[in-house]
Copies of this chain bind each other. A is one copy, B any other.
Amino acid sequence: MRSCFLTRLALISTLLFAPALQAMDDVPNSQDSAPRNVILIIGDGMDDQQVTIARNYLHGARGQFTLDTMPERGAMQILAVEDSTDNTPVYVSDSANTATSMATGVVTSRGRIATTAGDDQDIPTIGELARDAGYRVGLVTTSSVTDATPASFIAHVALRFCESPATMIDIEYSGIPLGDCSQDLKANGGPGSISEQLATSGLHVILGGGARHFEPPTEAGNMSVLELAVDNGFTALLDGSDLATASPDARLLGLFAPSHLPVRMRGENGREAESPEPSLLNEVHPYLGEVDLPAVMNCEANPEYGETPSLKALTQTALRNLDHENARGFFLMIESASIDKEAHERKPCGSIGEMGQLDEALEAALAYADAQGNTLVLVTADHAQAAQITPNGSLFSAYPIPIFSPGKIARIRTPEGAIMVVNFATNNFPYAEHTGGQVPIYGNAVAADILPTYLLQPDLFTLMRDFLEIPAQ
């Protein structure tokens, strides 16, 4: 963060549109008296391949998700730029720049959280604008609440890894320097780490994982970040069983795992995609020898999931508290984060379970929207991911030579009695790459005259802001 025009604009907007935080619920809607709500559901990495993989497994090839019943549908083009001010396009994004696109309408570079490419200006987010216009704001995720997607809707740092006061300077992973956020320190005139920004955000509901990012002392050092959040009016929930009993009047900060929430499903005995093993003769010449493919596997419940609250349960609690005695309305972002995270680790069963979680959360959101009215429900992905369904028997299997993926595959037995192969072959690194395809976007009936069949990702910001009748800055 540096002092900048956009920050000043945000400040002016706060002065113009925001009453004191405690008076928020009294702000009348400028156009009519009914509350207006936006529910944005993000499937991280949920491209057409991921949707199909999960549908084939969970509902069968001829089955359907609740997602598939959405009456409005389009495609969204994902944009990123180099970390400079010359707008040179980058064709594959990460979750930080994509969430920034959706949250701010500004295309930035990979790794950035609501800050501009090159000159590192803070950009007002839909979370801030909605809050300042009197709406309640909620963020729900299966990742750490400090992770790139939720963070970009409210916080501003140069680098997504700056999740707590303990990870602001000289960030390393396995000894590899990953950059830092020195300029975002409060001491340097910045807004502090992501968790500190969340703690003082004035948001109404923040639910997910990431408790460990709230444990360190704040930069000021006089209390933990969690204590800072409580000081700022949040009720802290640290166990899923607290969800049901939490007061509907409370502003909630729920942190149900040290980092990301455990996922619901996994491969048999924890198996992931594995390399086909060609015979020695095949290594000599690709038309000779044989190949051992990974054994077929089932998906199974992940024993680590245990009592983790489901995304649906988090969604229902968020909706209850956002809705409670709220005459103005709300903005709620819900993320199924580990469709992507499991795909990075080449664990298709994990992604399948998290697609199921998204679909259940959507069901809860639609039930709310149908009952309440005036609620725009959008579902989309932030970017495409590595997984592809490839044939179990090659299209060229008439040729008597070993044909196999140069990457890693999982051969999954589906409940409908067939074998689905999922291929991960974007790189040779322990984590697969994102890919650059456009992604699906879905809307409920309220989106009928609002959602185009094709849009650029940053235009989603404008669409949501306009629905909430928040004036352009």
Chain A residues with a Cβ under 8 A of chain B = 47-49, 51-53, 55-56, 60-62, 64, 68-75, 77, 79, 88-92, 94, 110, 176-179, 286, 384, 386, 388-392, 394-396, 398-407, 414, 416-418, 420-421, 423, 425-429, 431, 433-440, 442, 453-454, 456
Contact B62 A436 (CB under 8 A): no
Q: Is the CB of A390 within 8 A of B436?
A: yes
Instruction: Indicate if the CB atoms of B435 and A390 lie closer than 8 Å.
Output: yes
A-B residue pairs in contact (CB < 8 Å), sample of 8: A48-B437, A73-B74, A88-B418, A91-B418, A391-B433, A396-B433, A406-B407, A442-B453
Distance, CA A286 to CA B389, complexed state (A): 26
User: How far apart sit A201 and B169, CA to CA, in the bound complex (Å)?
Assistant: 74
For residue A454, which residues in chain B have a CB less than 8 angstroms away from its CB?
Answer: 64, 68-69, 73
Question: Copy number in this complex?
Answer: 2
Assembled-state Cα–Cα distance A421/B434 (Å): 12
Q: Which residues of B contact A79 (CB under 8 A)?
A: 61-62
- CA–CA, A94 and B390, complex, Å: 12
Instruction: Report the bound CA distance from A399 to B389 in whole Å.
Output: 29
- Contacts A73-B453, A89-B416 given; indicate if A394 touches B435 (C-beta within 8 A): no
Contacts of A414 in B (CB 8 A): 89
For residue A219, give the distance in angstroms from its CB to the closest CB of chain B: 25
B427 touches A405 (CB 8 A): yes
> Is the CB–CB distance between A92 and B398 below 8 Å?
no
Contact of A384 among B48, B68, B404, B429 (CB under 8 A): B48
In the complex the two chains form, what is the Cα distance from A177 to B400 in whole Å? 10
Known: A48-B384, A49-B437, A384-B48. A394 touches B75 (CB 8 A): no
